[in-house]
Structure 1
Amino acid sequence: MGHYVTLATCNLNQWALDFEGNRDRIVQSILEAKKQGAKLRVGPELEICGYGCLDHFSENDLYQHSWEVYGEILQNKETHGIILDIGIPVIHKSIKYNCRIISYDGKILLIRPKLYLANDGNYREMRYFTPWNRPKYFEDHQLPSHISKITGQLRVTFGDCIIETADTRLGCETCEELFTPQSPHITMSLDGVEIFTNSSGSHHELRKLDTRLALITEATKRCGGVYLYANQRGCDGDRLYYDGCACIVVNGEVLAQGSQFSLKEVEVICATVDLDDVRSHRNQKSAGTQANNQLEKYKAIYCDVQLSPDVCMYDTSMTPTKPKEIKYHLPEEEIAFGPACWLWDYLRRSKCGGYFLPLSGGIDSCATAVIVYSMCKLVVDSDEEQTLKDIRALTHDPQFTPKTPQDVASKLFHTSFMGTENSSVETRTRAKHLAEKIGSFHVDLNMDNLVSAVVSLFEVATGKKPIFKIFGGSQTENLALQNIQARLRMVLSYLFAQLLPWTRGKSVPGLLVLGSANVDECLRGYLTKYDCSSADINPIGSISKTDLKRFIAWAEKNFEMPILHEFLTATPTAELEPITKDYVQSDERDMGMTYDELSRFGKLRKIDKCGPLAMFIKLYHEWSQPPHNLTAEQVAEKVKRFWFFYAINRHKMTTMTPAYHAEQYSPDDNRFDLRPILINPRFPFASAKIDEMVKIINKRQKEIDESNLSVD
Structure 2
Amino acid sequence: MRYGFIKVAAATPDIRVADCEYNRREIACRMKTAAKEGAKLLVLPELCITGYTCGDLFLQQRLLQGAQDALKELCRESEGLDLLTLVGAPVRYAGKLYNCAVAIHRGKLLGVVPKTFLPNYNEFYEKRHFTCAPKENGVVHLCGQTVVFGTKLLFQCEQIPEFCLAAEICEDLWAPIPPSSAHASAGATVIANLSASDETVGKDSYRRQLVIGQSARLVCGYLYADAGEGESTTDMVFAGHNLIAENGQLLGQSRLFENSLLVTELDVQKLEGERRRLTTFPASGGTEYTVIPFSLTVEDTTLSRKIDPLPFIPSDSLHRESRCEDILSIQSLGLKKRLDHSRSKTAVIGISGGLDSTLALLVAARAMDKLGRPRSDIIAVTMPGLGTTRRTKSNAEVLAQRLGADLQRIDITRAVMNHFEDIGHDAQQKDVTFENAQARERTQILMDIANRTEGLVVGTGDLSELALGWATYNGDQMSMYGVNASVPKTLIRHIVRYEAEKIGDNQLKKVLFDILDTPVSPELLPAKEGEISQKTEEIVGPYELHDFFLYYGIRWGFAPQKVLKLAVCAFDGTYSKDVILHWLNVFYRRFFTQQFKRSCMPDGPKIGSVSLSPRGDWRMPSDACWDLWVDGLE
TM-score of the pair, normalised by structure 2:
0.48
TM-score of the pair, normalised by structure 1:
0.43
Higher helix share: 1
